Structures are given as structure tokens and as C-alpha cells.
């Protein structure tokens, strides 16, 4: 190469221009953590740049540069660098340990198009939009966002607000590689050889010519990227790496920061991780000094799992009737609240100790925000909803988003667009109010039953992981004919929180004439940190008796029974028995004496993702009076 790449500070032109600090200040309105914002913005950019139908590979990696690469960064980026007064890059490069945070995507177009902002083109302009322009608007239909102010988060995470961009793209049908450095700080005035001048605060590193900086190209770009240790693009694939110099993680150490980034991916990008089985539209990875940071599948995260359930049943279509416009699809799921607090990333996203939220997203399936609704009427339950805007509404909702893309501010809109967006949010709010309040269900006798507590949730309120239940009904104990007081096959059952039980107060005869009185509907409780159904009862007849818990599962219909569970299906189990609030007897059946007004409880571990049916039978033991 004839000359080394160098820095050039951007002066104001005669017509003025925007100050660099404006880029960073446009992100001040968000309460998102900078690392969360980095994940959201960079993943949106990667998705928007996808090439064809192949999956997009997206990777974030933190590397501590070794003796073979750290000197190259210092030698290449220090030459002609701005003074410490105008950019902190020299201080960052002088640190004894130099760290680089890289965000890489492949399976994308890369940053193609012209490299100059004053060139008119009908094709791609990704390079100019990302590197040169600030706050420019684009047609956002089908895109997660624009290359506007959100890209400033790359600089925000750097102690010196400096990044190096390495990209491979197609230009006029030919693969080209480009490499350029870019820093932003504050605008300033200073004395130069040509007199006093004012500068925008933007600084570029690359091949200086005609008063501005062009990127290094092709072999030269690849050679410098190799010396800096930037990842090579495999085969003929295109893509982009943004290397953040000297990343800052506030109070976190490096391991905590990378764990946060992994969790932020899961909570903000989970729709792109579906479905399971390797067919997801984006593939994600997080690395720390060469070691992979585990990225759980969304279905493995208890507090996120209800949103996946709601996402899988978006069967409610929202419309604006008078304007005759579809607004989007909504799915709502009520559930047993998972134990323990949610992850810190979820708390940052607005999820508190209890989940009563709607995940808002545009048709690109990237999370905008978790919209909080009214709390669930019972402390042990919750609801989750997912709303995906209709493709015809994408432009409308995109126009409501701030630079950080983390909210829908519909009051920015005018006319019909405002009416449409506000109507959609009103219908979502109505759905959350409905989900938060008790409802009525129909028992097996066809009578309406008012729901007033956790035990009164409708059938379909389930705990556990999706897909573990089954549509079949099967018995966990031998069948027994249990006629009710009036000779019915059994007393009417009432739908509960994942459980059915006989009508409270009914005395159900077991074999050999022993009677069981149900004191209330089954309720949910926690035992050893896990959910259990609790059915309280009394044994009315005196004498020694054996009590069995007859358990089965269903999905809320009368689809019949099977004596054994389908292969791979979960089944409810008896945990034990408790007299009053005393010691738990962990046995399959209860040996007890009736007729003494004692209150017993059957404790049942419900089958995940099913409705558990709880029936009790009692029989006199041989020799008992």
C-alpha cells in the first residue's frame, strides 16, 4: 500500500450541517440499557440487510486482544488521530489491556452502494446510510427500522465513541470488501494551518482524498482486517462486522456484560428464534474470549414462555370497522405464574414480579416493547399477550417509533393513521382488561359458575413447558364407580386453575359406602418451590378408611378417556396428604379415620400444559366398623 490509512476530522461546510453529539443525544429518551439497545438496533440492521431467504447469522463477541493484534490496533489507529481534547481514542488505545466488542452478521447484503453521500443511485445505499448520513428516513415497510439515529448506540458503547466497520457486499455484481473507521464526539473549533475552523465532531479513518475519507477496498481492506484480527467472511458470503473499540459496561464486569447481551437477545429477539428445529430465520451466538456464552431457547425461559404460548395462538383479528382496515392479530394466554423473579433484562423491559403484559411487534417480528396492562386478579396467576401489526399497518406503526424503536407514540400521527393506531391500542387494552378479570365457566352439569379466586381460572390455565401435555384423557388410578348423592355417575365437576374437582360441599360416596365431602374447589399453592393443586376434604363416615386420589388430564373437552397416557405425555401425580396444616404424608393413598371433622388435603402435581382432574374415593378398610 502506498500510504497508511489515517484520520480526518470533518469540518463544517459553508452550508452548515449537523453536530455529531446530536446523534448520541437522540438516544437519551430511552430507558433501555445501552447493551440492550445495541442488541436491538444491530439485530434490526442485520435483519433489514438480509440477502434472500437464507437465515441471517448474527454474532456478538468480546475479545481481549493478544500481543499479535493489540499493537496493530495501536499503530494503525493512533497515527494522525484527533487530540485527546476532541476524542478519547488515544487514551483507549493506550490501555494496557485492549478489548474489542464485535457485532457480525452474515447472510446479509453488507454495506453496498456508493461510498459518497452526494452520489445519486437507484440501487442500494446502505454504506452511505450507515456511515455517512444521520437521521435520514427511508421506506420502512418490511424493515425493522432506518439507518437513522439508532446506529449511534455503536458509538455510545465505546469509551472513545469509535468503531471500525468491515463489510463485504456486491457492487455491480462483483463482491467487494470495504473497511473504514468512524468516531463521533462533540463539535468544536480550533486553529489550523488555514486559520480557525469549526468541526462537526465526526472523525473518519481510511483513505483520505479530496478532503474526505474513502474506505479501504478489497485486498487492502482484507489485509488490514486480518492484522486487526477481525473475522473473515466465509466463502462467497457477504456481511458486516462492526468493531467497537474499548467497550464500556458500566458497573458490570465482562462476563456479566456478555450474559446481559445473551439475555437481551432472548427477550428482544425471541420471535426470530422460532420455530425450533433449526429453521429459525436468524441464528444467534455470543462469545467471550473464544468461549460460547449459552443462549437459551425462549421456551426454556419460564417468564418468557407464556409469550410464546400467546404467539402460537394469535387467533384474534383486530379491525377498525368504520375505516375497514385490518390492524393486526392478537393472542392472549392466562397461566400460573412461574416461581421466582424474572431476569434483570426482563425487568428492564417492563416485566415486574407479575406478568400482565402484551408484547408489541411489527410484521418484521422484532419486539418493540412489553406493554403493561392491569394486574391479574389473583396474585399467583398472570396473562401474556402478543400483538403483531398487520403488514398494511407497518408504515403507520413505524412512524410512531422513536430513534430507539422501543415504543409506539401514536400521538405523533395525524388523521386516519392516528385513528387506526389508537384504535389498535384500545382493543389491546380491552383484551388485557378482559384477561385480568374473573370470568364464568360452565361445569359438567351445564350450570354457570362464578370465578372468584385462583381456583376459579378457566380451563386452559396451565403451568409448565408447551408441548408436554396431550389431548388424550388417561387415569392415574384404577377406575372406580363413584355415584353422587342422587345416584349420578359422579358429582358435577368445576373447572379450576389447571384442575377439576367435585362440587364443593357435595358428599361423594366411595366404595363400601365411605363418603368424602369436598370443602372447596381445588386451589393452586407452592410446595418446594413448585406448583401443586390442593383439594381440601373431610371423611364423613366413622372408621378406618383408605382414600385414593383419582387423577386424570384433559384439555377442557369431553374427548373420552384412555387408561394409559400416550407415549411421551406427562401425567399428574399425587405428592401426598396433609391433615390440617400439619405434616405432609408422602404416600400414594391415605390411611385415615373418618367421622372426626378433621380436614385433610390432597396435594397433586399437575401435568404441564393440561387441565388436571382431581376426584377422591374412600373405602372402608376390612374389619372397620
| Contact (CB, 8 A) for 466 and 309 | yes
- At residue 472, the pLDDT reads 22
> Which percentage of the chain shows pLDDT scores above 70?
76
- pLDDT of 450 over the 60 cut: no
Q: Which domains does the chain have, with CATH numbers?
A: 6-297 (3.30.565.10), 305-436 (no CATH), 442-620 (no CATH)
Q: What is the CB-side half-sphere exposure of residue 57 using CA atoms within 13 A?
A: 11
Q: What are phi and psi of 602, to 5 degrees?
A: -95, 130
DSSP 293: P
> CB under 8 Å to 486, separation ≥6 — which residues?
none
Q: What is the pLDDT of residues 573-586, one digit of tens each?
A: 999 999 987 889 99
- pLDDT of 60 over the 50 cut: yes
Rounded to an integer, what distance in angstroms lies between the CA atom of residue 23 and that of residue 33?
Answer: 17
Band (pLDDT 50/70/90 cuts) for residue 437 is: confident
How many other β-carbons are positioned within 10 Å of the β-carbon of residue 76? 18
C-alpha cell at 102: 464485535
Q: How far is CA 572 from CA 88, 93, 550, 610, in A?
A: 62, 61, 10, 9
What distance, in Å, lies between the first and last C-alpha atoms of the chain? 104
Stretch 84-111: mean pLDDT:
93
- pLDDT of 188 over the 80 cut: no
Stretch 217-236: mean pLDDT:
91
H or E, element range at 526: strand 523-527
- At residue 561, the pLDDT reads 42
Band (pLDDT 50/70/90 cuts) for residue 29 is: low
User: Pairing state of beta strands 530-539 and 543-554?
Assistant: unpaired
Q: What is the pLDDT of residues 354-368, one digit of tens each?
A: 999 999 999 989 999
Better-predicted residue by pLDDT, 164 or 608: 164
- Span of 28-42, 168-182, 294-308, 401-415 with lowest mean pLDDT: 28-42
Rounded to an integer, what distance in angstroms lies between the CA atom of residue 34 and that of residue 509?
Answer: 64
> Which percentage of the chain shows pLDDT scores above 90?
49
C-alpha cell at 113: 452502494
User: What does the chain come to in residues?
Assistant: 625
**With the CA atoms of 77, 83, 86 and 88 taken in that order, what torsion angle do they form, in degrees rounded to the nearest 10?**
50
Q: Name the H helices within 14-167.
A: 21-25, 34-48, 70-78, 89-93, 126-127, 153-156
How many other β-carbons are positioned within 10 Å of the β-carbon of residue 249? 20
Band (pLDDT 50/70/90 cuts) for residue 352 is: confident
In order, the DSSP letters of 377-440 are SSTTEEEEEEEEE-GGGHHHHHTT--TT-----GGG--HHHHHHHHHHHHHHHHHHHHHHS--E
Rounded to an integer, what distance in angstroms lies between the CA atom of residue 337 and that of residue 454?
Answer: 11
**With the CA atoms of 260, 266, 269 and 271 taken in that order, what torsion angle do they form, in degrees rounded to the nearest 10?**
-170
Band (pLDDT 50/70/90 cuts) for residue 196 is: confident
Exposed e or buried b per residue across 36-46, where buried means at least 16 C-beta atoms within 10 angstroms of its C-beta: bbbbbbbbbbb
Band (pLDDT 50/70/90 cuts) for residue 149 is: low
- Span of 313-322, 481-490, 513-522 with lowest mean pLDDT: 481-490
H or E, element range at 228: helix 218-228
Rounded to an integer, what distance in angstroms lies between the CA atom of residue 508 and that of residue 496?
Answer: 19
Rounded to an integer, what distance in angstroms lies between the CA atom of residue 257 and that of residue 252?
Answer: 6
- At residue 421, the pLDDT reads 97
Stretch 486-493: mean pLDDT:
30
In order, the DSSP letters of 574-610 are EEEEEETTS-EE--SEEEEEESS---EEEEEEPPTTS
Q: What is the mean pLDDT of the chain?
A: 80
- At residue 316, the pLDDT reads 95
Name the 3-class secondary structure at 116: coil
DSSP 335: E
Beta strands in 134-281 (DSSP E): 162-171, 174-184, 188-192, 195-209, 212-214, 216-217, 239-245
Q: What is the CB-side half-sphere exposure of residue 290 using CA atoms within 13 A?
A: 4
| Contact (CB, 8 A) for 370 and 359 | yes
User: Pairing state of beta strands 282-288 and 56-64?
Assistant: parallel
> CB under 8 Å to 545, separation ≥6 — which residues?
514, 539, 591, 592, 593, 594, 618, 619, 620, 621, 624
Band (pLDDT 50/70/90 cuts) for residue 615 is: confident
| Contact (CB, 8 A) for 595 and 618 | no
Angle 317-318-324 from CA coordinates, rounded to 5°: 110
Band (pLDDT 50/70/90 cuts) for residue 513 is: low
Bond into 618 cis (ω within 30)? no
Angle 350-152-281 from CA coordinates, rounded to 5°: 65
Q: How far is CA 202 from CA 16, 152, 185, 246, 347, in A?
A: 14, 12, 7, 18, 35
**With the CA atoms of 578, 583, 584 and 589 taken in that order, what torsion angle do they form, in degrees rounded to the nearest 10?**
-60
Exposed e or buried b per residue across 295-325, where buried means at least 16 C-beta atoms within 10 angstroms of its C-beta: beebbebbbbbbbbbbbeebeeebebeeeeb
Amino acid at each position: 500500500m502506498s500510504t497508511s490509512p489515517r484520520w480526518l476530522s470533518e469540518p463544517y461546510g459553508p452550508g452548515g450541517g449537523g453536530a455529531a453529539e446530536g446523534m448520541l443525544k437522540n438516544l437519551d429518551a430511552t430507558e433501555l440499557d445501552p447493551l440492550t439497545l445495541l442488541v436491538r438496533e444491530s439485530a434490526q440492521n442485520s435483519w433489514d440487510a438480509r440477502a434472500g431467504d437464507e437465515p441471517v447469522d448474527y454474532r456478538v463477541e468480546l475479545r481481549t486482544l493478544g500481543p499479535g493484534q493489540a499493537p496493530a490496533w495501536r499503530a494503525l489507529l493512533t497515527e494522525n488521530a484527533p487530540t485527546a481534547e476532541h476524542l478519547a481514542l488515544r487514551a483507549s488505545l493506550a490501555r494496557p489491556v485492549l478489548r474489542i466488542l464485535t457485532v457480525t452478521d452474515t447472510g446479509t447484503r453488507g454495506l453496498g452502494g456508493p461510498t459518497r453521500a452526494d452520489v445519486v443511485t437507484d440501487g442500494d445505499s446502505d454504506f452511505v446510510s450507515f456511515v455517512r448520513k444521520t437521521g435520514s428516513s427511508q421506506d420502512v415497510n418490511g424493515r425493522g427500522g432506518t439507518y437513522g439515529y439508532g446506529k449511534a448506540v455503536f458509538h455510545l458503547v465505546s469509551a472513545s465513541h469509535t468503531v471500525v466497520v468491515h463489510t463485504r457486499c456486491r457492487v455491480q455484481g462483483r463482491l467487494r470488501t470495504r473497511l473504514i473507521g468512524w468516531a463521533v464526539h462533540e463539535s468544536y473549533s480550533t486553529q489550523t494551518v488555514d486559520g480557525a475552523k469549526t468541526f462537526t465532531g465526526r472523525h473518519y479513518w481510511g483513505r483520505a482524498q479530496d478532503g474526505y475519507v474513502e474506505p479501504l477496498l478489497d485486498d487492502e481492506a482484507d489485509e488490514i482486517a486480518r492484522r486487526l484480527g477481525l473475522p473473515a467472511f466465509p466463502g462467497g458470503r457477504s456481511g458486516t462486522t462492526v468493531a467497537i473499540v474499548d467497550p464500556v459496561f458500566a458497573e458490570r464486569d465482562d462476563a456479566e456484560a456478555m450474559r446481559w447481551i445473551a439475555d437481551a437477545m432472548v427477550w428482544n429477539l425471541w420471535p426470530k428464534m422460532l420455530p425450533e428445529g433449526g429453521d429459525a430465520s436468524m441464528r444467534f451466538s455470543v462469545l467471550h474470549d473464544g468461549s460460547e456464552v449459552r443462549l437459551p431457547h425462549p421456551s426454556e425461559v419460564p417468564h418468557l414462555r407464556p409469550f410464546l404460548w400467546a404467539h402460537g395462538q394469535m387467533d384474534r383479528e383486530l379491525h377498525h370497522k368504520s375505516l375497514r382496515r385490518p390492524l393486526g392479530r392478537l393472542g392472549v394466554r392466562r397461566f400460573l405464574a412461574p416461581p421466582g423473579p424474572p431476569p434483570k433484562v426482563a425487568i428492564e423491559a417492563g416485566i415486574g414480579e407479575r406478568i400482565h403484559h402484551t408484547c408489541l411487534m411489527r410484521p418484521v417480528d422484532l419486539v418493540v416493547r412489553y406493554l403493561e396492562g392491569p394486574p391479574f386478579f389473583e396474585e399467583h396467576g398472570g396473562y401474556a399477550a402478543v400483538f403483531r401489526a398487520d403488514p398494511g399497518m407497518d408504515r403507520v406503526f413505524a412512524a410512531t417509533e422513536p430513534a430507539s424503536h422501543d415504543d409506539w407514540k401514536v400521538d405523533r400521527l395525524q388523521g386516519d393513521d392516528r385513528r387506526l393506531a389508537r384504535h389498535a391500542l384500545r382493543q389491546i387494552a380491552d383484551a388485557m382488561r378482559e384477561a385480568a378479570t374473573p370470568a364464568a365457566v360452565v361445569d359438567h352439569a351445564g350450570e354457570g359458575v362464578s370465578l372468584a379466586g385462583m381456583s376459579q381460572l378457566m380451563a386452559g390455565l396451565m403451568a409448565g413447558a408447551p408441548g408436554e401435555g396431550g389431548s388424550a384423557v388417561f387415569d392415574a388410578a384404577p377406575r372406580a364407580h363413584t355415584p353422587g348423592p342422587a345416584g349420578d355417575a359422579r358429582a358435577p365437576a368445576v373447572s379450576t386453575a389447571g384442575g377439576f374437582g367435585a362440587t364443593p360441599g357435595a358428599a361423594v360416596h366411595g366404595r363400601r359406602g365411605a363418603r368424602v365431602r369436598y370443602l372447596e374447589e381445588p386451589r393452586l399453592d407452592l410446595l418446594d418451590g413448585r406448583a401443586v393443586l390442593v383439594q381440601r376434604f373431610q371423611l364423613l363416615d366413622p372408621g378406618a378408611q383408605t382414600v385414593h386420589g383419582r387423577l386424570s388430564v384433559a384439555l377442557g373437552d369431553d374427548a373420552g378417556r384412555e387408561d394409559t397416557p400416550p407415549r411421551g405425555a406427562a401425567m399428574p401425580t399425587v405428592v401426598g396428604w396433609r391433615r390440617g396444616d400439619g405434616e405432609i404424608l408422602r404416600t400414594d393413598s391415605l390411611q385415615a379415620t373418618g367421622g372426626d371433622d378433621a380436614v385433610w388435603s390432597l396435594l397433586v402435581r399437575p401435568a404441564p400444559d393440561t387441565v388436571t382432574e382431581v376426584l377422591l374415593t374412600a373405602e372402608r378398610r376390612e374389619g372397620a366398623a
